[in-house]
Amino acid sequence: METIKSRAKFIFFMKRYGRIIIAGTVLIIIMLIAILAPLIATHDPYKVNIYEAKITPNDEYIMGTDAYGRDIFSRIIYGTRTSLIISVSVNALAIIIGTIIGLMCGYFLYVDRIVMRIMEALNALPMLLLAIVFASVLGQGVDKLIICLTMVNLPGIARLVRSQVLSLKEKEFIESAKASGASNFRIIFKYILPLCYSPLIIRFTNGLSATILTQSTLSFLGVGLDSRIPTWGGIIGEGRAYMVVYPHMCTYAGLAIIITVLAFSIFGDGVRDVLDPKLR
Amino acid sequence: MLKFIIKRLLSAIPVLFIVVTLVFLLMRVIPGDPATMMLGEDADPADIEAFKEMMGLNAPIAKQYIDYLKNILTGNWGNSLYYKTPVFQNILDRMEPTILITLYSTVLSVIIGIPFGVIAARRRATVTDYSITTLAIFGNSMPSFWLGIMMVYLFGVQLGWFPVQGYVSIAEGGLLKSLYSITMPSISIGIQNVSSIARYTRSTMLDVLNEDYVRTARAKGLSEKKVYYKHSLKNSLAPVVTLVGFSIAGMLGGSVVSETVFNIPGMGKLAYDSLMRRDYPQEQAIILFIAIILVITNIILDIVYKYLDPRIELDQ
């Protein structure tokens, strides 16, 4: 009897948290790869060696070398760093700034009129095109790419927070807070913000995977980062010209993107279902 | 309904005005001087000055802006610095493949995505549902440029089913040949949308299935088929329409990538090339043009939305 009960409990637990645990484990492994990159990489990811160029995968170069003789495996390992650093900082920054803008818009109507019009205009442009233009305005560099991708993510987050605020504002507990003399500042940060947390956490986890894809696309096009910096998109972009003869130059980096994005998406979906079960 | 349409059209004007301003400002702060870019690094400084004077690049920024606004409104969008031909004409020349790929891929994602979403919702929590959901997450995780390259390798180079690159225009080879030449790019940028539309349809469908009127329909003894396709589908499609709008925007932006991968002379490639060449007038025109297309698309979709779900009002 006991075993059946604990088994049912286990199944229930796995149904609720299984995806988070599995995807979370994969993400931890990916993070470890990023942190321990110097230990895992078999070669120097920057070292150009034209005598060893375009080698197909063998014992020494397990994923082959690129057109400049750089080890693709090591570049992918170091590319994990680039992707994670950019994706996490972009989403953290965008969530913080976007939330502030959204709160202001939802609460002060005059701010709302101006900001929402600008956000609407930004929404009338395709995100990727906007990112490419921003990236070329700002020039190359990790910090600049982070600013560029943050700007692109702001309208969506501001909108999300704003709509939350607009619906919460009408609630009675806000009115009673106002009646008891709470300042606007206090109402916003003490009463409204905590109720926005769960949609924001969902947005953050989903944003991580989306940013990895956008950032890879930009590097693929050669926009945003110096081509010497190892990035997954950059590896694919450089390998594309030799694809017909040396498919290994593009394949593995693409798989790295898929595995990472997949892990973030599944993790995000799991978190969403736990925080907001009615969305299932 | 007419009032709704007029209101919606008027609300587009300030949006476009801000887009124009934003694009103008962005283009002025891009590093790199178009005159040097055009005439070469070691051009005679006097020539560069003359070129700047000719293009109006020396005027104060406020004057440039006002002139720019005037020209946009009078339909004089200027000449490309690179091609020396009117920018608007260049866009029209390159428009066909981009629009065709976007339409093709939208149609593909709607006719595949929606049925799969409905099936997943109908067979909720079964193997079918899990396989569709998993496939959809997988599709959402694939970078379209990588998928494009892999498809070129497999179906173009190895199997030889589709052309590896290039575009056959409608005038050259007729509609069918033209669609054939853009099948791979359309699929490669469509996969993500198929996945998001399927997931979204599934979740809105599940929401609708919990509504009282669906229970009433079941209680009346209607067949499951009728309940799903007559009472639930139309109502769950309204939010999906919004998603289609987003995906059209995504595809127009994504054309920069797919047209580079498949070497298609479309608007996306022109946008990318112009940016790299610092061809401001051309770049401004493309961004503005895409913004106009998107604003019009969104107006049409809002009208469709209103038709599907008459309860909604314009959010103010």
Distance between CA atoms of residues B90 and B174, nearest Å: 22
Contact A258 B298 (CB under 8 A): no
Contact A120 B31 (CB under 8 A): no
State the smallest CA–CA distance between residue A243 and chain B in angstroms. 7
Which residues of chain B have a CB within 8 Å of the CB of A269? 137
The CATH number of whichever domain residue A204 belongs to comes to 1.10.3720.10
Give how many domains chain A has, as a whole number: 1
Contact A258 B203 (CB under 8 A): no
Q: Which among A127, A236, A261 has CB closest to B149?
A: A236
Q: Is A244 helix (H, G, I), strand (E, B) or coil?
A: coil
Which residues of chain B have a CB within 8 Å of the CB of A279? 203
Contact A254 B157 (CB under 8 A): no
State the smallest CA–CA distance between residue B31 and chain A in angstroms. 6
State the smallest CA–CA distance between residue A120 and chain B in angstroms. 6
Which residues of chain A have a CB within 8 Å of the CB of B163? none
Give ∠ CA B119-B124-B127 in degrees, rounded to 5.
85
Distance between CA atoms of residues B11 and B303, nearest Å: 14
Model pLDDT, residue A278: 60
Domain ranges of chain B: 87-308
Contact B257 A220 (CB under 8 A): yes
Task: State pLDDT tens for residues B250-282.
Answer: 888 888 888 988 989 999 999 999 888 888 888
Which of the given ranges, A48-57, A247-256, B294-303, has the highest pLDDT on average? Answer: A247-256
In the predicted model, what is the mean pLDDT of chain A? 88
Please, are residues A53 and A66 in contact by the beta-carbon 8 Å criterion? yes
Nearest chain A alpha carbon to B145: A217
Nearest chain B alpha carbon to A247: B153
Task: State pLDDT tens for residues A161-217.
Answer: 888 888 888 888 888 888 888 888 888 888 888 888 888 988 998 899 999 999 999
For domain B87-308, the question of CATH label 1.10.580.10 is answered with no
State the smallest CA–CA distance between residue B249 and chain A in angstroms. 5
Contact B153 A247 (CB under 8 A): yes
Written as one string, the DSSP assignment of B162-186 is S-SS----HHHHHHHHHHHHTHHHH
Strand residue runs (E) in B1-61: none
Question: Distance of CA A152 to CAs A213, A234, A268, B48, Å?
Answer: 13, 21, 20, 35
Which residues of chain A have a CB within 8 Å of the CB of B260? 221
- Domain residue limits at A73: 2-279
pLDDT at A27 over 90: yes
Q: Which among B16, B137, B157 has CB closest to A266?
A: B137
Distance between CA atoms of residues B161 and A171, nearest Å: 60
Task: State pLDDT tens for residues B164-177.
Answer: 888 888 888 888 88
Nearest chain A alpha carbon to B250: A126
- Can you tell me the ipTM of this complex? 0.87
What pTM was estimated for this model as a whole? 0.87
| Mean pLDDT, residues B100-128 | 91
Distance between CA atoms of residues A91 and A207, nearest Å: 6
Contact A128 B253 (CB under 8 A): yes
Model pLDDT, residue B37: 66
Tokens 């009728």 found at: B226
Q: What are the residues of chain A with a beta carbon less than 8 Å away from any beta carbon of chain B?
A: 117-118, 120-122, 124-130, 132-134, 136-137, 139, 209, 213, 216-217, 220-221, 233, 236, 240, 243-244, 247, 250-251, 253-254, 257-258, 261-262, 265-266, 269, 279-280
Contact B15 A117 (CB under 8 A): yes
Per the model's pLDDT, the better-predicted residue between B311 and B283 turns out to be B283
pLDDT at B316 over 60: no
Task: State pLDDT tens for residues A77-115.
Answer: 999 999 999 999 999 999 999 999 998 888 788 888 888
CB atoms within 10 A of CB B286: 24
State the smallest CA–CA distance between residue B229 and chain A in angstroms. 21
State the smallest CA–CA distance between residue B27 and chain A in angstroms. 8
